Each structure stands twice: as structure tokens, then as C-alpha cells.
Copies of this chain bind each other. A is one copy, B any other.
């Protein structure tokens, strides 16, 4: 049998047909064009889903279940309670998909949790039952899986490891707290740290790199480091320490089998991962344990979300 995984993003809607081996057989996509009414957006979701099924050479009768990943908070009844970037409030997503597709087995879940699930089951997790996925992007997203199940918490708002404070009274976070991990370890934070270092170091090669690129990015300090720039080296080292700090916090609390780290910054590969592991190995509470949490780079990229959505049926019943 086949399942459908849908990624409802702020920019694109992607629907994919996935087989029992967690492989994507066919996809179809369209622009989200948010803000629009939920009715219109779900009409388009149904449309691209039927297109993907047709591309796969299948019919709706071949589809066992449908899973949808969405930004925001999704409750146990499949209602999107709140998704600020889609301007959604109490959208009955599950029922709207049932109505449009005629399939009863429909699952709705937060997109970061879907991505974690995808990586855990079909990606770098290789079926790990205790797994955390962290994404270093505009913010720091995370999905926590314990005993093979997504940790939604009592109010479906669980898994926000990016909003654990690592610096009491530190940098202002968008969530209202001060000093969240996200405010130090996101790509946005790295860019701010790079800009601050550039201001303090007018002779740093970071100025030249940023001028050539037309902007300061998450790569600027890394590129400067590769040229031996002292200020760039310092920015990268401090940033990796911040990333490590939050990862060690997660390890000490949960000791998952695997933590995977994703997001654009991870394109640095071992330049990021090697020193990151070094800090983690030196500091984790379980320093003397024979078995340790593996810290690895995410594997599936953007596919993690649709694959995770497609296998929600495996963890939600």
C-alpha cells in the first residue's frame, strides 16, 4: 500500500506518494499564496494530492492514509489551533482533508515533528526509537521522539527545545524569553554574531567576503575562518559552542540514541560537526558511559517533512 505525505509550508504546498519502504514515488506542488482562506488552501492541497496520485500511476483506492505537516500547534482532533505564518486559527484540517479526499485515515502534525519522524524512521535515524531532530534555520526547530512516538506534550506544544534558555537574562528571543538557545544557535543568531564581530574588527576579511556576496550570511564567518581570519575563527568557535551547549542539554535530559542536526548551516559538513562533537564529548553528563548519543547531520533535507507526514499512521494509532 501507499500513503500520502503533505508538507504545508508558508511558501509551498508539496504532496508526495510514499511507498512501504519510505520512498517518494511521485510528488506534486503548488504555491501556498498565504494569506488565503483555509478553504482555498485545502482545495489546493487536495488538488496537488490527486495530481501526485495520478503521477504515481495510482488511484485514491491505493492510498492507505494521508498525513499533513503544518506550521503551528495541532491538537489531538487534527485541528490546527494556531499557525501565525498561515494566519490560521482553529482550522479543522483533518475533517477538511477527509471531506476533500474521501479518505478516513488522516493525520495532522506539526511540521518540525514530521521532519523528525521522517529522519528517525527513513533517514539518518535508521529506525531509532529515541531520537531528536534539531534544525538550525531562521530559528532553532526541534522534534523529540521517545519510544518511537512524537512527544507532543499535554497541549501539543512540546518539542520546542530551541526555547530552552542557555543564558539567563541574555539575548531577547522572539518567544518573549531572554537567552533562548534559538537566540544563540539559529542561522539568524550566527549572522548577528558575525555582524557584531565585523563591527569590532574593521580589518577582518569578513568585510570583503560580505561585500562580494552582497550580504552577511551564515557562511561569512565560516569562509573567513577558512582564510585564517582570527575574528572569523572566533565567531565560528563561539557559535559552535552555543550549538553544542543546547545539544548537551538535550543529551543530559533525554540521552536519545541519535540527535540529528539539519538546516543550511549543516552544509558546512564536518567543519561544523567535528568540533561540535568534540565539545559534546568533553561535557556530557554520561562522559563515562560506554554507549553515547550519536550526533549526526540530517540526511533527507526537505524530503524529511513529507516522508514523516506520510508515516504518521505508524505512530499515531
Q: Which residues of A pack against B, CB within 8 Å? A: 73, 81-82, 130, 144, 146-147, 149, 151-161, 163-168, 170, 175-177, 184, 241-242, 245, 248-250, 252-257, 283, 285-293
Contacts and interface: CB of A to CB of B under 8 A. Distances in A.
A271 to B, nearest CB: 22
A154 B291 contact: yes
13 contacts: A153-B256, A153-B286, A154-B257, A154-B292, A155-B292, A158-B253, A159-B253, A163-B285, A164-B164, A168-B245, A176-B287, A177-B283, A250-B253
Given A144-B254, A168-B242, A255-B153, A73 B160 contact: no
Contacts of A153: 130, 254-256, 286, 293
Nearest to A258: B154
B155 A245 contact: no
Contacts of A249: 164-165, 249
> Which label, helix, strand, loop or mixed, suits the secondary structure of the A interface?
loop
A217 to B, nearest CB: 24
The 7 closest A-B pairs by CB, nearest first: A153-B255, A158-B255, A157-B286, A164-B249, A155-B289, A155-B291, A163-B252
A253 B249 CA distance: 11
Contacts of A147: 146-147, 149
B168 A253 contact: no
A253 B161 contact: yes
A175 B95 CA distance: 50
Contacts of A176: 283, 287
A158 B287 contact: no
A255 B163 contact: no
A165 B81 CA distance: 32
Contact of A82 (B156, B254, B288): B288
A114 B84 CA distance: 41
